[in-house]
Amino acid sequence: MSQTLIVAGWIVKGVIDRHTADILRDGALYQRDGVIVEIGDAQELLAKYPNVPRLGSPDTVLLPGFINSHHHVGLTPLQHGSPDYALELWFASRMGTREIDLYLDTLYSAFEMIASGITTVQHIHGWRPGPLSSIHEAASGVLKAYQDIGMRASYSFAVREQNLLVYEADRDFVKRLPADLGAKLAAHLKAHQVPLVDHLQLFDMLVQDNEGQSLTRIQLAPANLHWCSDETLLAIKERSDKAGVPMHMHLLETAYQKEYARRRTGKTAVAHLNDLALLGPSLTLGHGVWLTEADIEMVAHTGTCICHNCSSNLRLRSGVAPLNAFARYGVTVGMGLDEAGINEDRDMLQEMRLALRVHRTPGMEDDVPTCPQILKMATEDGARTTPFGAKIGRLETGRLADLVLMNWKTATYPYQDDNIPMLDALMQRAKTNAVDTVMIEGEVVYNEGRFTRVDRDAILREIEQILARPRAPQDRANRELGSAVFPYVKAFYSEYFAQTPTREPFYTPSSRT
């Protein structure tokens, strides 16, 4: 039997409303075999469990583990040589990404996530060439990395079966290119075309492989409207319902995607998904930057979740999501770091501060994000976007013991006036050096800057040694192809809005509605 008693000056059990957190002063939490058994007064629990191993101190702030509801890769695109272009150009620039062992790559970002208090990640994988056996091997490496480091993860391999590079059919875009370049791109895209039947078989294989695992789950991810036909969306929905697993789908990340939906369906992307009966609590929409107010109302009415990726939206010039409107309509909103945060890392503490401040619209009304609201996005609401649901995201009896112990003195040194509520001060001031301990399912996986299961320094050295070698011939060819195709991709999108009937400017307030 594994058991721990954690004492803390403050236990943040969850969020009551957007202005109020449920905080127990001078409390203790007892966990046994990875489940929270009791939370109460510190002195009473110390007397009740005198021989149980202890963690924490009166300077500890104990919080639910954070949840990164939208994540893709380890080494970032910038590390791989791809600048922060606008999203649609960024896809072309990333064709030259070097191949690296995905077990190592996954551990790289897991180190950063856990060190900032993230205990659960929604890992959305993709862009792997076939055959199915190769994709299955890659997915297995990702899952093994999370299992080895002791991190909770929901994994999906994103379904992309059309329009792989731009928002038109692959064969039509290839025709825009010089013949020799078109032939090379056609071959590259063909290698990445995975039939729907293979996607569904991969899901079944991973579910079977993952049977008996407590930390990892498998779900489904129709990548985006432009990447999936209606037939594919319906097939994924059918499998999701049959297997009882949620779906995560990028949607309306950019204004170009909004325009694509109008051309394809004659309505908004959200309205189209509603017509297909995809909306509902089992679906999370990643980004949602370009939702209209009618879309937001529809999302709220159906119980559909949204994942807010604040850093990514800013870095890739996608726009600023209407988070205040999401809150006004009562939408469940998780928080994702996507490829990397604003500081080119996976620091959830920084991401929470960014989301807190980006949406501070002018005026004096009570309609801007609050610290409890942002914390709920990074915990309880994020949990609802994963297959783990109500088992994580709050500190309550019966929930899993996924916890973060933060040091109040470290976070607020050398001084903090007590006129500021504790949670507000912590969220606005704490850096990763204030994260003392991270516990996942009752096990300490990170303590005082060290990981308990995996040697971080050894993994980083291995990555360094691998990438110090010259590029493989295929990596060089992919980089050259991406560079050659890039100006044609840019030309395609320079004409995209010129073809709209209204010829409206790229970005105006009216273009959102």
DSSP strand pairing (3-17 vs 283-287): unpaired
Q: Which amino acid is at 365?
A: E
pLDDT at 480: 96
Q: Compute the Cα dihedral for 78, 473, 482, 91 and give only its sign.
A: negative
Q: Indicate the residue among 439, 459, 479 that finishes a domain.
A: 459
Distance CA 391, CA 377 (A): 16
pTM of the model: 0.96
**Together in a domain, 194 and 229:** yes
Distance CA 25, CA 475 (A): 55
- Is position 168 within any domain? yes
Pick from 406, 439, 450: which is nearest to 5 by CA?
439
- Is position 188 within any domain? yes
pLDDT at 512: 54
Which range of residues forms the domain containing residue 372?
66-392+454-459
* Total domains in the fold of the chain: 2
Q: Which residue stretches of the chain have pLDDT < 50?
A: 502-510, 513
* Cβ neighbour number for residue 57 with a 10 Å cutoff: 15
Say how far residue 378 (Cα) sits from the centre of its chain.
10
**Together in a domain, 23 and 85:** no
**Together in a domain, 219 and 139:** yes
**Together in a domain, 37 and 89:** no
**Together in a domain, 202 and 118:** yes
SS3 content of the chain, % helix, strand, coil (to 5): 45, 20, 35
φ, ψ for residue 190, nearest 5 deg: -60, -40
- Is position 228 within any domain? yes
CATH number at residue 416: 2.30.40.10
Q: Which amino acid is at 341?
A: G
pLDDT at 495: 87
The 283-287 sheet, strands edge to edge: 247-251, 283-287, 305-308, 332-335
* Cβ neighbour number for residue 303 with a 10 Å cutoff: 15
**Which segments of 338-455 does DSSP mark as H helices, in order?**
348-358, 371-378, 380-384, 408-412, 422-429
**Together in a domain, 71 and 41:** no
**Together in a domain, 51 and 185:** no
**Together in a domain, 150 and 36:** no
**Together in a domain, 170 and 48:** no
Distance CA 377, CA 292 (A): 21
**Together in a domain, 272 and 420:** no
- Is position 47 within any domain? yes
CATH number at residue 94: 3.20.20.140
How far, CA to CA in Å, does 80 sit from each of 61, 102, 312?
37, 14, 17
- Is position 509 within any domain? no
Cβ-proximal residues to 53 (8 Å cutoff; 6+ apart), any chain: 3, 4, 5
φ, ψ for residue 426, nearest 5 deg: -60, -50
pLDDT at 130: 85
**Together in a domain, 73 and 219:** yes
- Is position 438 within any domain? no
- Is position 322 within any domain? yes
Do residues 138 and 131 touch, judged by C-beta distance below 8 A? no
Q: Indicate the residue among 410, 439, 459 that finishes a domain.
A: 459
Pick from 437, 441, 450, 451: which is nearest to 55 by CA?
437
The helix (run of H) or strand (run of E) holding residue 488 is: helix 473-494
pLDDT in tens, 397-409: 999 999 999 999 9
Do residues 100 and 467 touch, judged by C-beta distance below 8 A? yes
Distance CA 266, CA 273 (A): 12
**Together in a domain, 18 and 74:** no
- Is position 100 within any domain? yes
